Structure 1
Amino acid sequence: MSTAAPALSVLDLVPVRTGQTSAQAVAASLSVAQRADELGYRRYWFAEHHNMPAVASTAPPVLIAAAAARTTRIRVGSGGVMLPNHSPLVVAEQFAALEAIAPDRIDLGIGRAPGSDPVITQLLRQSGTTSDVDRFPQHITDIRSLVSPEGATVRFTSGGTYDVHATPAATTAPAVWLLGSSDYSAQLAAGMGLPYVFANHFSGDGLERALDLYRSQFQASETLAQPRTFLTANAVVADTAEQAEAAMLPQARMMARLRGNRPLVALETVEQAAAAEASDSLATGLLDAMRARWFVGTGDDVRSRIAEFAARHGVDEVMISPVAGATEDEPMDAATSRIRTLELLAA
């Protein structure tokens, strides 16, 4: 199998570090999007998470619009919209409007996880039947129809029909992707003839099985003749291996808090994380596992490993979540370490 370099894309959770405002965090992420556009990355997706001190990507459509306005070539989209949190018609209208803003550059990645804790999930899903997770497949079908130039047709049980369009005169539609980390999502994407992304950056368990299910059960659709998939992965790339190891620690400690059900806080800086880890060893038990799944090191080393990873799983694209921590001297509205990861990978 070839180990040719795959296309690279970016997944952004809009990280928030200690002392940083949400405005500064968003400004920093938009600078990453601009640089990714300049460097030739294929797409730039924003995740959806809620009520987390270290994550500001709560509203993907808003961030996508801002990124689209600051870029010229790269595809921008959601990774993803957590559909049970929203009305399908509202999602369709938002992404049809984004498609009008940036034609042929919009991706609508859809997932069914809540993106938060049970309390926030209840607050997000106070919209009645639109939050019914069991209707997730039907809601995807509805959105695909609504964003298309043809629109959707409501059929009344008493007879008659009613036409609905997400925008009044669409000529193009956003590309719809199904996201997930389970057998269910892989099989649903296959059955609906949708492109599929396995959330490997979040949970690598079950990756091979999910890809096999998707590819073996795929049914061609009007929009996709063959299975289409790529993978996500966390990456920390720096000029030296030692710098990369140090820069992964803030994110590793945040993941340790999350998995250990500890109180969540804003991301520590590289210096804060090193000092804290020396006394509390919060991430020690996770570091080896993360090194095995994350791509941490110098540009040459990580580029080679990503190519091998893509070839091993038969994909031609890898979406990088650049999780390098910030140093104390990094401006609050900048993302120097994350941008450096993208630059070294694109070299």
Structure 2
Amino acid sequence: MPQLTLSVLDLVPVRAGQTSADAVAASIALAERADELGLHRFWVAEHHNMPSVASTNPPVLLGVLAGRTRRIRLGSGGVMLPNHAPFVVAEQFAVLEAAAPGRIDLGIGRAPGSDPVITALLRSSGHTSDVDAFPNHIRDIEALLSPQGAGLRLSSGEEYAVRATPNAAGTPELWLLGSSDYSAQLAGRLGLPYVFAHHFSGEGTERSLGLYRSSFEASEHLSAPRALLTANVVAAPSADEAVRLALPQLQHMARLRTGTPLTALDTVEAAQAAHVTQAQHDLIEAMRARWFIGESGEVAERLAAFADRYDVDEVMVSPSAGASAADPIDRAPARERTLELLAAHLPQGVLAAA
């Protein structure tokens, strides 16, 4: 994997027996290990009201991680912009950039990240959710984050200067996230780097990247298209061990997609003993074929081929290994081990340059 840069996407998973504090502690340890290993980015997602996910507020989590890491880039994968006022997002990430200069990414998505009830609660304070306004909100954030700031024209005709911070010396790196034609074409039209959420379904990747590249217009941020892909990954010393470790997350996703009430993630032992319906079994087998699960060398080769196929030089892995009952309650050893095993297949020079 000589040319492949590895990054991490974390949802702060919560397993049976864990408190939110335990889950956050495990993710902090994961970020620290990714930093030590020389991986390029560590992003946290935004999901709401899910018993298995503690990643509800990316800017708060990133503030914690900024104080616990040294060199790795930190970002949102992503902030779900319809839930938030653009000015608030700009202020949050401007402060993060001031606290960790040159290390902050702002990944923006268009999905709500939750069910309709929670979405209504998030927007009840007046946040804008008009899809047609989404491109303008991204442009607003770009302007507000810049050292020059943005100008508002008041009803009196007077120009009113607005900045996310009083005296910005740098700006976060802005990325647009998506899994649809709309997001791909918008990222191209705005001249922004693009993240395709391949880990969601594994479908439409080639089409979306093609639309992004064909619609790309150079901007002050980017002169040529730049894309990365996400992938669910479980690497272990053996293929059998990797499959065993993947079971809790695979079963959880199958339950989600068949409308089964969700709980915290099972341990590996509970997942091995769990009953699954035929429909869930079929979903699990389909996901196994798309995920990167196996012995670490084989997974590394598949990731390299995956990046080569879609002509990207960075893959953001979501380490999806489950936990055993005997594992420390505030750590995720198998998730850390996935990163360690993959990093072992990268030359140290590439890691240092990432």
TM bin (shorter chain): over 0.9
Q: Which residue of 1 aligns with 2:259?
A: 261
Match of 1:156 among 143, 154, 169: 154
Equivalent residues in 2 for 1:83-122, closer than 5 Å = 83-122=81-120
- Contact preservation (8 Å) 1:91, 1:143: yes
Q: Percent identity?
A: 65
Q: Which residue of 1 aligns with 2:347?
A: none
- Contact preservation (8 Å) 1:9, 1:43: yes
Q: Check if 1:291 corresponds to 2:288.
A: yes
What amino acid is the match of 1:330? D
Q: Which residue of 2 aligns with 1:344?
A: 341
Measured against aligned partners, the alpha-carbon deviations of 1:243-273 in whole angstroms (never above 9, x if no partner) come to 1001111001110111111111100000000
Equivalent residues in 2 for 1:307-346, closer than 5 Å = 307-346=304-343
**Aligned-partner Cα distance in 2 for 1:132–1:67:** 32
Matched residue SS, 1:77? strand
Q: CA deviation at 1:132?
A: 2.3
**Aligned-partner Cα distance in 2 for 1:293–1:46:** 22
Moved more, 128-137 or 259-268: 128-137
What amino acid is the match of 1:136? F
Alpha-carbon RMSD across the aligned residues, in angstroms, is 1.2
What amino acid is the match of 1:316? D
- Contact preservation (8 Å) 2:94, 2:172: yes
Q: CA deviation at 1:127?
A: 3.0
Moved more, 16-25 or 130-139: 130-139
Q: Check if 1:40 corresponds to 2:47.
A: no
Q: CA deviation at 1:129?
A: 5.5
- Contact preservation (8 Å) 1:230, 1:318: yes
Match of 1:126 among 124, 127, 137: 124
- Contact preservation (8 Å) 1:195, 1:227: yes
- Contact preservation (8 Å) 1:178, 1:195: yes
Q: TM-score with structure 2 length normalisation? A: 0.95
- Contact preservation (8 Å) 2:10, 2:319: yes
Q: CA deviation at 1:156?
A: 2.5
**Aligned-partner Cα distance in 2 for 1:135–1:252:** 36
**Aligned-partner Cα distance in 2 for 1:203–1:65:** 30
Q: Which residue of 2 aligns with 1:14?
A: 12
What amino acid is the match of 2:53? V
Number of aligned residue pairs: give it.
344
Moved more, 148-157 or 309-318: 148-157
Q: Check if 1:185 corresponds to 2:183.
A: yes
Matched residue SS, 1:103? coil
- Contact preservation (8 Å) 1:7, 1:42: yes
- Contact preservation (8 Å) 2:254, 2:284: no
Q: Which residue of 1 aligns with 2:351?
A: none
Q: Which residue of 2 aligns with 1:220?
A: 218
Measured against aligned partners, the alpha-carbon deviations of 1:147-169 in whole angstroms (never above 9, x if no partner) come to 11111111134411100010011
What amino acid is the match of 1:318? V
Measured against aligned partners, the alpha-carbon deviations of 1:8-67 in whole angstroms (never above 9, x if no partner) come to 000000000001000000000000000000001000000000000000000000111111
Matched residue SS, 2:170? coil
Matched residue SS, 2:67? helix
Matched residue SS, 1:342? helix
- Contact preservation (8 Å) 1:180, 1:198: yes
**Aligned-partner Cα distance in 2 for 1:288–1:98:** 41
Give 5+ residue unaligned stretches, structure 2. Answer: 345-354
Measured against aligned partners, the alpha-carbon deviations of 1:176-232 in whole angstroms (never above 9, x if no partner) come to 000000000000000000000000011222111100000011000011000000100
- Contact preservation (8 Å) 1:234, 1:323: yes
- Contact preservation (8 Å) 1:87, 1:131: no
Moved more, 56-65 or 197-206: 197-206
